[in-house]
């Protein structure tokens, strides 16, 4: 599997493009659809995943979906228009020669999810280097995000590399002591 990180939009959101056996997958197309579409040329995009519903993670969804013909998936509790597949905790998604496991991690939003494939975790705005995602919005819940991190993410092995929705990557081992 190959992975490319695009830093997009005014909030410097990380959009990830995964490719396995010429089949691609996009995580969090938050802005700059033309940049994302250029980056995925050369392989077939089958699926677009959103870690949560905030605009900085889904604003380019409509255009990327139209250009690629891909399906788009988000957790039911974060459902907005333009998605046509619902994610569930523990669901396994296959693309190319890879498999992604959906981890429902509410707190930043009610339907927030992380995506685990091999030793890579795409954490959206649930876990950043040095702390959890923002919980200052009315639909956010600080107690819930800490519970999600402790019960779902901190049970993963130390060597799991965490690719957050903003900023640089980290590992579960580096973050373990904070929770």
pLDDT at position 150 is 96
* Alpha carbons 179 and 153: distance in angstroms, whole number: 10
pLDDT digits (tens, 9 = 90+) for 125-143: 999 999 998 887 777 789 9
pLDDT at position 140 is 73
Q: How confident is the model at residue 177 (pLDDT cuts 50, 70, 90)?
A: confident
pLDDT at position 41 is 92
pLDDT at 169 over 90: yes
pLDDT at 167 over 80: yes
Q: How many H-runs (helices) and E-runs (strands) does the chain carry?
A: 5, 14
pLDDT at 103 over 80: yes
Better-scored residue on pLDDT, 86 or 141: 86
Look-up of token digits 């939009």: 9
Q: Is 73 helix (H, G, I), strand (E, B) or coil?
A: strand
Give the pair of three-digit tokens for residue 62: 């409509």
Q: Which domains does the chain have, with CATH numbers?
A: 2-178 (3.60.15.10)
User: pTM for this one?
Assistant: 0.96
pLDDT at position 133 is 87
pLDDT digits (tens, 9 = 90+) for 10-45: 999 999 999 999 999 999 999 999 999 999 998 899
Give the pair of three-digit tokens for residue 32: 């700059």
pLDDT at position 149 is 97
């Amino acid at each position: 599997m190959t992975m490319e990180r695009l830093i997009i939009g005014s909030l410097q959101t990380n959009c990830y493009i995964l490719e396995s056996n010429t089949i691609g997958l996009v995580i969090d197309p938050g802005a700059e659809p033309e940049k994302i579409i250029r980056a995925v040329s050369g392989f077939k995009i089958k699926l677009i995943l959103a870690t949560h519903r905030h605009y900085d993670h889904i604003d380019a969804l409509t255009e990327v979906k139209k250009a690629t013909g891909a399906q788009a998936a988000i957790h039911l509790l974060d459902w907005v228009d333009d998605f046509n597949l619902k994610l569930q905790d523990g669901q396994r998604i296959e693309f190319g020669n890879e498999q992604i496991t959906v981890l429902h991690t509410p707190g930043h939003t009610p339907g927030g999810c992380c995506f685990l494939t091999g030793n890579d975790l795409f954490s959206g705005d649930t876990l950043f280097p040095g702390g959890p995602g923002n919980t200052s919005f009315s639909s956010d819940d600080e107690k819930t995000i800490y519970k999600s991190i402790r019960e779902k993410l901190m049970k993963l092995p130390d060597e799991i590399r965490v690719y957050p929705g903003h900023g640089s990557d980290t590992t579960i081992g580096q973050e373990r002591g904070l929770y």
